[in-house]
Amino acid sequence: MGSFGHGVSGGDRRGGASGVDKGVDFAQYFCTYAYLYHQKEMLSDRVRMDAYYNSVFKNKKHFQGKTVLDVGTGSGILAIWSAQAGARKVYAVEATKMSEHARALVKANNLQDVVEVIEASMEDVTLPEKVDVIISEWMGYFLLRESMFDSVICARDRWLKPNGVMYPSHARMWMAPIRSALVNQKMNQYEGAMDDWYSFLEETKSYYGVDMSILTRSFDEEQKKYFLHTSLWSNLQPEEVIGTPAIVCEIDCLTATVQDIAEVRSQFSCKIHTDARLCGFGGWFDVHFRGRVDNPAEEEIELTTEPSEENSTHWGQQVFLVQPPRNVCRGDSLNFSFVMKRTIENHRLMEIELGCEFKQSSGEQLQPFKKTFCIE
């Protein structure tokens, strides 16, 4: 025994428990957000902060004299801005002990008469009234990892007035073909792990008299899954994108249901714009603050997590590796089939079945690509 917290092992390989258990979920998910350190990381993401800040202060009409609900308020920043923009009352709901810090922050900024911090899960809370605005920063990696949007939907269905506004109002998932040194790096790590395994087998046999070769196939699967079939966080550079990004799906935050996001099926295509070695696909998202059709924003704000030299975010992009890489040419068409589901083990994690067919401008035929990835 001894639990490998000391960085000797190849990364954090926490598994999930079987079935969805509220206690497990709390432990695995919410506790991360109970650290000020993590709050600081999010509050230091200038792209994220600027977008929310501008969405509120350039659209004060949505806030002045209104009631606002902040779902998962964390440090309380969105609730505080809403109050500063003129809200009459802000309910700031937070499931973790971070609520105590939020309450202190609200008071230190002299907004305790407007902002009420409530420590509760959104599913359980009872508010004294319905609200004009729901604001929340709910987006996970590749938008839907963590499934916190479920809580926003729950909040909306229970507490948003019929003519209420969602902040953000819309969200989109994007995908594009990329080149990347990651594919060689991960392939080397995978191969290194297998080399180690074979030495290990020999040692275990010769020193300790036990033949473990029966486990080779399972070990290989485990390593492939870890190094090659799990999406990778990356801060892609724009020049690594070798084709036109495609929209995977669009979400209207005012109308989307839990069912809509629990399983996302999509078909889309894109065109290669550079002769290159296709090493994978990059996935990211953007959200927009547009208000609603009958009550639009004065100034529409966008928060994008696309590959960018200057404006990278803590979300980065998720990379899905293509192994072995394929040579593609300017003008080639890629047709995707995409299914994203929650994993059975942990409803906050996702599994993606990604298929891609290549239509080459040269007329050659490239083998279609199909693989299932985890997002961890």
128 binds a copy of itself (CB under 8 A): no
226 binds a copy of itself (CB under 8 A): yes
DSSP string, 132-157: EEEEE---BTTBTTT-THHHHHHHHH
Within 277-306, the residues that bind a copy of itself by CB under 8 A are none
- Cis omega (within 30 of 0) for bond into 238: no
Of 116, 119, 137, 345, catalytic? 137
135 binds a copy of itself (CB under 8 A): no
Query: Count residues contacting a copy of itself (CB under 8 A)?
Result: 84
Structure tokens at 51: 């977008």
Closer residue to a copy of itself (CB): 50 or 364:
50
Find the binder of a copy of itself among 195, 202, 215, 265 (CB under 8 A). Answer: 215
Closer residue to a copy of itself (CB): 256 or 272:
256
Query: With CB under 8 A as the contact rule, which of the stretches 102-110, 242-250, 287-295, 363-371 interacts with a copy of itself?
Result: 102-110
181 binds a copy of itself (CB under 8 A): no
Structure tokens at 212: 């473990």
Find the binder of a copy of itself among 113, 163, 208, 257 (CB under 8 A). Answer: 208
- Residue ranges of alpha helices (H) inside the chain are 22-28, 36-43, 46-57, 77-84, 98-108, 149-159, 182-208, 216-227, 258-262
Within 59-88, the residues that bind a copy of itself by CB under 8 A are 72, 75, 77, 80-81, 84
Find the binder of a copy of itself among 181, 207, 309, 310 (CB under 8 A). Answer: 207
14 binds a copy of itself (CB under 8 A): yes
219 binds a copy of itself (CB under 8 A): yes
- Residue ranges of alpha helices (H) inside 209-361 are 216-227, 258-262
Kindly report the backbone phi and psi dihedral angles of residue 25, in degrees, each rounded to the nearest multiple of 5, phi listed first: -60, -45
Nearest approach, Cβ of residue 133 and a copy of itself (Å)? 19
Q: Cβ contacts of residue 17 below 8 Å, gap of 6+?
A: 24, 345, 346
Query: With CB under 8 A as the contact rule, which of the stretches 21-29, 169-177, 275-283, 321-329 interacts with a copy of itself?
Result: 21-29
Distance of CA 221 to the CA centre of its chain: 25
- Cis omega (within 30 of 0) for bond into 128: no
137 given a catalytic annotation: yes
Within 186-205, the residues that bind a copy of itself by CB under 8 A are 193, 196-197, 200, 203-204
Q: Are 102 and 128 in contact (CB under 8 A)?
A: no
